[in-house]
Structure 1
């Protein structure tokens, strides 16, 4: 029964009988018992609950109308040196005497109960020989550090206040609370107290008892326990005419009824005549002695549940109980139940019973020997003088405990409970209990009135995705198995923790639905929310992936019954609407913030989190944010200080006709003004978006649709594979091609520049090898693929290992030991790994310039960075930029060791490819019309692109993908350079507005490779272009044929030395060495 007390208050009759606190002293504090805490001057410490806010206060005993609120269980942890640490838990509230440390100062203030300070120093021991007393002057305090303490005091109205103070000052602070534990005296229960289980089951009509020890027939008892055998309905004798079923007062014919005011009759509830109390069976003290006791002169009577009431009828007042059969004393059917809260037990006494006389005489219409009425020795006790334990009646010494303890249990009931968890609650109409968005502001905010029944159309909303439609349910009583089955539950909205209440679910046998007093006349279905849903911390609000936010833009698709192609767009005056235009927004995100309700009593329930978003549009003038104008209209502004932040709360989950699956639609909740949301206006035909109050029942919702229009070009093979391809790039408007720089005014000695010109003026070919770089490696490769642009590839095949051929025991110098492995011998030659060598297109933005005059500048043209090819080597995904340090060294003569000795550090491309930031040696191809790409069928302006490079060191390196300002290939006075990322804007560049070049691509070929290489290596042969000729090395004895671009032979000779110079006219020539592949060279 102790656990039942947590769930609710007792009846007024019971409360009147609440005893004074000094009726019984406590000599030992026992866990599991409930005590009152006496504060002097007839004051008891109680805990109140006002709208879910718990407070502790002192009340005079006469004003304690809810005994449970004055009862406290006391647990403790013993400490050898400092005494016990006590925890005091209120029985009515299930909450400890505890305060929140962060709310405290050195000045006492009224505090709510519930906090991180709940362990108190109080008495130095849990035992006191003379009993605990208020005169002990024991205060409660909590040490939260070695030198700081929390203490409690009382306000003028008795409210508990708390403060913190230095431990050295605590002894001098007056008015600290002093309390002592006292035993709560017993109280007599009425029939209603019993049937409603002390008010915890307001609709209860019966109860059942349990007992310690438990009597089991055939085990430790012959007769068993008649009091725990059945469920009973208690009835008081009604002092008025008629039967009052609501108050459980029965009509009767007993003139002595006033002497039985504290007694009840116990009707057996067994589904037979339960609705006919005036003729049903009752529990009585029987007219039979327990076998074996009578012969020992113990005269132990038995109890019976077989005697029926004798019904009579009064036409004006109905049926009444006239008697209990011939020879029966009706007083033996009347029992008094006294409840002792501290011990949590019941004592039972019978009003009177009959003993057996030596001779028979007439009694209640029957000749019987059972005629001696007895009114003493009338307490229900356990007789333990025989081999069996049997219940009987006897005398109990005052202030001594009885040898059997009865506890009040449920009996026949329709009360049910649910497991702790998260549920949705649905009524018979199919409506869901929720705190809908339009009902969570204003008068309804923060209280139960925000909850209402909401019609949910399954094709448009999904309650499993909406925390405001879900309820966290926790049992109020989980202390025993039986209590868990019937416990009332605290239900709290998962999104709005202040929307909470207590509900007792009920279920009638055979019924389909549950019901509860809280929901009048509603039949209920309570359905569990799946584990993966309660574990989803991002449920209910938009929560985009951080990586996507960096690179993605989004369109806001308006949910409307008649059109699914309307997006948030803009009128000419920057006012937002949802009619004809559409905007693509980027999103700035705040840090995650917790919201909603969670509890440790529901396994797997995660704390909900949400973020705020600040949408903006990229324009030629920078970022434009959403703001609110004087007419309450949403519009765009370039003033970041006026930017509106939003929570995007899911309101719908719907599948438009054009989509294959459902998608969420979100309401835009204004963070600065939580009582408002973005909504479409019907004031005119422009469908303008305005700031609307939350309690507008119609909520505008938008799908947040990723702008999947590709931002960058991805070069796929015809089979759709990401592989290196040979491509040519031509400028869209004038059809000029990228090539080696041919304009002598822009050429500088020792540097191979990228140039542009008409197809026919190319000194070499027009094709470039475009090799995927970060594809499949970095987070955003699908959005921004990066490529290496390569010409003039050659391969150093490396050298295989050569073993030691000496006939001896081999010696491994590195290991310092002999070995049988000839490849480890110091005579052996180790293998040398091969590598690839090529010319790599790079930005010279990071190159150090020594000249200031542009005619002398190697890496810049004025303030603009130039673009060109550098000698590079790649081995095992490590890239070495050689610059001009190995000019004239053939690929086969070059070694990695030599490169390292030259101080050239390698670039770990395995790590670098995982980064989406641009490099000076990678390139991306930025579409100028991404929204048109999907429908393009040919190479034209719809698929045209800018060639994008690294913005470092001038630009915003944090804006790695789709930057508003960037470095694109452009012309400056016909010289090919990169645009200045501090000046160039995409909105201008994509239209050629800042001289950025707009390109298309076409297939290239191996025999048309762009190159201006002065050293071409073929196998062990090297061909070096020189002024007025070519130098051929390593071709002694071989025939060499040199032709011009027209295929005309201009030299044909056999080389007789290891290095031969052959004179040829200036221009592009093709050098064919006998037995080797032909190569091109440019002769100056």
Structure 2
């Protein structure tokens, strides 16, 4: 591909990888600029153009120097792009200056500038100007074009406040009141600030003029590397304007633009043998060749790159001025054409060297000189010498004997209808403008994105954990990245940002530049590890490579990360869901090739080790999510769509015990142990190090390294395998071995959820209401209505407990257990809360009825809105709900009615569940039949009595909370690790009945709580301030441990077999229900699961309807539904 040099040269800007042009000779420019053009590069110099401003490295940044132009070897450092714009009401343009060699603007920080001191001589101790600020707009010239004379010198001034400026001065000795400049005695440049009105600078003001840069004679290396933009380049091609096309405007075309060349200088040192390609020098004979074609003398040889012996420069052909005229010009113009020929070599040890041209060839006709003019961006090509044809035969057999030994420009000669490239015999214009092109190149680039990079050994470029401390300073790139062998079965690089690289093109000014642009590699996790490189790829090659650098790797397989990895902000580190942190515990499963069932446990000395014991840790988020890795700002998002800022969280693992929490810490021997002292707790980042499928699990899962985040020096948890105890010790990050652990949810259920076959669940209706009996595990007693007269009080219905053989036949043992929060509360599935009730009855919803009177409805009133219409009435469930009397402890006679000693009692209240509300019936409403209950009247009465807030419960709101409630109950497993595997009702699935917790404790699985207990035979709740779960689960504090039995409708029936509802009566008998007084009405009978077993219209005053034995609901049209037991 043929790229213009002015395009290519931009691509070397701001690239630390590229070296700028190392010119053989830089000549002094000319102060002749009368118009500033933004598409050109100028030097900024003094009035003589002998001194120019250059940008040079200074530590980790850049500074400015004023140097003699002929002493500079890097021409690009002397060149500046000058851009300008006009702001509102400005007296002149605002200028910006960008250095070509670095791509960095002339930009300063006013905060670094001291106040200008007219009396002092500035020196190195004052600190040279630094290119590190935001001030980059300068006042310089009043216009961008002069009328006739070239621009003179002017100082650069930048306003950083309305009345304050910064400017540049030199270290020249002060000349009081001087208005010019006298800075020839110092090349150093300093930044100062002053009042905007100052106009005298004591002869040290840095005053500059735009200079047309002088010619730069290019070496062979300059040509082959395209002025340093392609450091590994070994050929070039020229472009030219005007363009010559064979058969169109030329017979021969332009050999300089049509062919690809490899330029060579000469060297007479034997040391060059074998190193030619690195230096672009050939081993040549001292007398006839080397004096002309050394780097210092400026002439080069042009090997023709055409696929024939290109890799054998001592045998290949070279361009030369031919011993032949261009056809049709031999009689008059005698225009010299160009041809090719080999060199003559002389045998020598260690290798033959170039010694002469081919037979009858003047060796100097092989020598070309390339002078580059940076400002006009053009190259003048000349030839050292060529031969003219003589008039007589020569003794050598050639008529071409006359030598033209003067440097001659290559020119374009326009003939009658065509133009041809030839040698300019006399002084005159070249008529052709050459520019440096790409030549043959294997340079390529990569699109902006995030990638993983492999070499030809299938190793990944990464910053592994053991190298993370090398992510700092100027040597980060050299020290931190490593080629790491990754086993696909053990690690997943898509999960590990330290194995991923953000690749950004350094230059995208045009699509052509972007195709070949260098790229900067930035580690996604460690942004300080970065490097600009030039990617290369041979035509048809499958892999890209870097010629030198990148840790000596030649072949690179660069693949983009997945969309999931690109957009996952939690990538790389453990980041648990906040919602479960308070209730979920975790076990740390050790990754080992021989066993996958070992976890972190604790021995008798509180030392942590890996073996069979398993500790369950809770994970306290020590910090909120904090960003890490490369900063993903708007500019980066614009380059890489979908890229997310990485975030991580620090954790403090701890174990809950009845005596308080235990935390991980270190002992004096560097061993990890548990402590109750929270101040000594260690904090960790959990970084993914492996992704592995153990035999005991169904799918691969991440394993994390525990990075101990210390204030001074981070370390990691490691396992000591020198003995059988496998104690966990503190390891330095540099340790190449890294221990890793899977963070396994302790999925042992904390609470019982009645949705399994063991609980009598029906498939498809697992969480439907259940009829259950609660049997105390150790004494075999059942919960029931309290029948012990010693524990009863008039007006209150208590929960009691007794052995089955002592139960009053009228007292039921079965309870309806109905879900309350499973699908509502955040942790409803972890801690299900249930309603428990008995004596359930239902009031069927009644549809609205229109006005049936025979009268006209006017003014928009319809039969549905007429006052005679009957509104719909919602249905409801009425039952005796089991509650804690904790909210009644301040009521009158509470110590008698709602307490037993110091303990809170539990019992039943009459309540109706309608819609999203629960109405506790009191103040006489509990005496009413279902048909007479009206929620509007209840609300009004409760509001008047100021009890509506306590007796009308908003279930829609309350059931969305995990908080304990006085009217719901949870069933806390005492052996959660065994519960999931249990197949029979035994101690493995036994539970405590939980009502409340200590105020400061957790809503789920509190350490201190209120559980159902027996106090001298009376059922009460334990004191949540003193009662602990560990104590209660083992039978301490008289806590009761329960199992369940499937309940029976027989235990749920009311005391009377005949239930009166208005004038209708329902009598349950053997195998049937007798309905009286319901002639003409529809009767629906359903079982406990709500399934309809009869649906009929009664045709007589007394009807017998067959029904299966069990608990049934009888709904008579227009009446409240009642429950009965069919025998």
Residue 983 (structure 1) shift: 2.6
- Is residue 579 from structure 1 mapped to residue 611 from structure 2 by the alignment? yes
In structure 2, how many angstroms separate the alpha carbons of the residues matched to 1:920 and 1:176?
85
Q: Aligned pair in 2 of structure 1 residues 477, 842: CA closer, same or farther (>3 Å)?
A: same
CA distance in 1, matches of 2:713, 2:463: 15
Identify the residue that residue 455 of structure 2 maps to in structure 1: 427
- Residue 677 of structure 1 and its aligned partner are, at CA, apart by 0.8
Whole-Å separation in 2 of the counterparts to 1:111 and 1:892: 94
Partner of 1:548: 580
Partner of 2:986: 940
3-state secondary structure, aligned to 1:660: coil
Residues 312/524 of structure 1: CA separation in 2 closer, same or farther (3 Å cut): closer
From 794, 797, 816, the equivalent of 1:769 is 816
Q: Which residue of 2 aligns with 1:458?
A: 488
Q: Secondary structure at the match of 2:466?
A: helix
Q: Please show how residues 534-933 of structure 1 align to structure 2 within 5 Å.
A: 534-589=566-621, 590-598=623-631, 600=636, 601-672=639-710, 673-682=712-721, 684-716=723-755, 717-719=761-763, 721-759=766-804, 760-761=806-807, 764-805=811-852, 810-811=857-858, 817-818=859-860, 822-825=863-866, 827-847=868-888, 849-851=890-892, 854-855=895-896, 858-861=897-900, 864-884=903-923, 886-902=925-941, 903=943, 904=948, 907-933=953-979
1:525 equivalent in structure 2: 556
- Any conservation in 2 of the 1:14–1:188 contact (CA below 8 Å)? no
CA distance in structure 1 between the partners assigned to 2:1017 and 2:245 by the alignment: 107
Q: Secondary structure of the residue that 1:491 maps to in structure 2?
A: strand
Of 17, 20, 25, the match for 1:17: 25
Please give the TM-score of this superposition, normalised by the length of structure 1.
Answer: 0.81
Whole-angstrom CA distance in 2 between matches of 1:103 and 1:937:
78
Is this contact kept in 2: 1:289–1:301, CA < 8 A? yes
Please say if residues 752 and 1012 of structure 1, whose CA atoms lie closer than 8 Å, have aligned partners that are also in contact.
no
Mapped partners of 1:465, 1:272: distance in 2: 50
SS for the counterpart of 1:845 is helix
C-alpha displacement at 1:810, in angstroms? 3.2
Superposed, 1:927-1076 pairs within 5 Å as 927-951=973-997, 955-956=999-1000, 959-1009=1002-1052, 1018=1061
Please say if residues 839 and 879 of structure 2, whose CA atoms lie closer than 8 Å, have aligned partners that are also in contact: yes
Q: Does residue 138 of the first structure (1) align with residue 156 of the second (2)? A: yes
What is the CA-CA distance between 1:646 and the residue it aligns to?
A: 0.3
Find the aligned partners of 1:9 and 1:566 in 2 and give their Cα distance.
50
8 Å contact kept, 1:339–1:346: yes
SS of the residue aligned with 1:441?
A: helix
Paired position in structure 2 for 1:230: 259
Alignment partner of 1:307 is 2:340 = yes
Say whether the 8 Å CA contact 1:892–1:1017 is kept in structure 2.
no
CA apart distance, 1:585:
0.3
**Are 2:132 and 1:120 aligned?**
no
Q: Point out where structure 2 has 5 or more consecutive residues left out of the alignment.
A: 1-7, 117-125, 173-185, 756-760, 1067-1075, 1080-1111
Q: State the partner residue of 1:1052.
A: none
| Shift in CA distance, 502/800, structure 1 to aligned 2, threshold 3 Å | closer
> Is 2:167 aligned against 1:129?
no
Correspondence for 2:1098: none
More off after superposition, 730-739 vs 277-286: 277-286
Return 486-495 or 621-630, whichever deviates more: 486-495
Shift in Å at residue 775 of structure 1? 2.3
* CA separation of 1:542 and 1:362: change in aligned 2, threshold 3 A: same
Tell me the TM-score normalized by structure 2. 0.79
Counterpart among 58, 82, 87 of residue 79 in structure 1: 87
Q: Does structure 1 retain, via aligned residues, the 8 Å contact 2:320–2:341?
A: no
SS of alignment partner, residue 892 of structure 1 = helix
Residue aligned with 2:582, SS: helix
Distance 1:497 1:891, change over 3 A: same
> Over residues 556-611 of structure 1, what are the superposed CA-to-partner deviations in whole Å (9 max), with x where a residue is unaligned?
01112222111111111212111231100000112112222256244433322211
Tell me how far apart the structure 2 counterparts of residues 594 and 715 of structure 1 sit (CA, whole Å).
43
- Quote the offset at 1:395 in angstroms: 9.8
5+ long unaligned stretches in structure 1: 812-816, 1024-1033, 1038-1069
State the Cα distance separating 1:420 from its structure 2 match: 3.1
3-state secondary structure, aligned to 2:835 = strand
Alpha-carbon contact 2:842-2:1121 (below 8 Å) kept: no
Q: C-alpha separation between the residues in 1 aligned to 2:366 and 2:253?
A: 19
Give 1:1077 shift. Answer: 8.1
Aligned to 2:439: 411
1:764 is displaced (CA, Å) by 2.7
Is contact 1:542-1:649 (8 Å) kept?
A: yes
Once the two structures are TM-superposed, the CA of residue 831 in structure 1 deviates from its matched residue by 2.6
**8 Å contact kept, 1:278–1:321:** no
Residues 136-183 of structure 1: per-residue CA shift (max 9 Å, x gap)? 22233556xx899998899999999999x9999999999998877655
Q: Hey, what's the Cα distance between the residues in 1 that align with 2:211 and 2:392?
A: 51
Partners of 1:211 and 1:437 lie apart in 2 by 54
Structure 1 pair 874–148 and aligned structure 2 pair: CA distance change class (3 A):
farther
Distance change >3 Å, CA 776–CA 242, structure 1 → 2: closer
Counterpart check, 1:474 vs 2:517:
no
How many angstroms apart in 2 are the aligned matches of 1:732 and 1:105? 86
Describe the SS at the equivalent of 1:699: coil
Change in CA separation of 1:775 and 1:14 when aligned onto 2, cut-off 3 Å: same
Which digits, 9 at most, give the CA deviation of each residue in 1:678-715, with x for residues without a partner? 11124543222121111122211111100011111110
2:652 is paired with a residue whose SS is: strand
Alpha-carbon contact 1:139-1:177 (below 8 Å) kept: no
Kept after mapping to 2: 8 A contact 1:38/1:134: no
Offset, 1:668: 0.7
Task: Give, in whole Å, the separation in 1 of the partners of 2:246 and 2:868.
Answer: 98
Residue 205 of structure 1 is matched in structure 2 by 234
Equivalent positions of 1:60-99 (< 5 A) are 60=67, 66-75=74-83, 78-82=86-90, 88-96=97-105
CA shift for structure 1 position 474: 2.8
> SS state of the match for residue 994, structure 1?
helix
Measure, in 2, the Cα distance between the counterparts of 1:732 and 1:830: 52
Distance 2:395 2:160 in 1: 68
**Residue 318 in structure 1 maps to residue 352 in structure 2:** yes
- SS of the residue aligned with 2:860? strand
Displacement of 1:947: 1.7
Q: Which residue of 2 aligns with 1:263?
A: 299
Corresponding position: 1:280 with 2:316: yes
SS of the residue corresponding to residue 802 of structure 1 reads coil
CA distance in structure 2 between the partners assigned to 1:193 and 1:1071 by the alignment = 100
What is the SS of the residue equivalent to 2:22? helix
884 and 38 in structure 1: CA distance in 2 versus 1, 3 angstrom threshold: farther
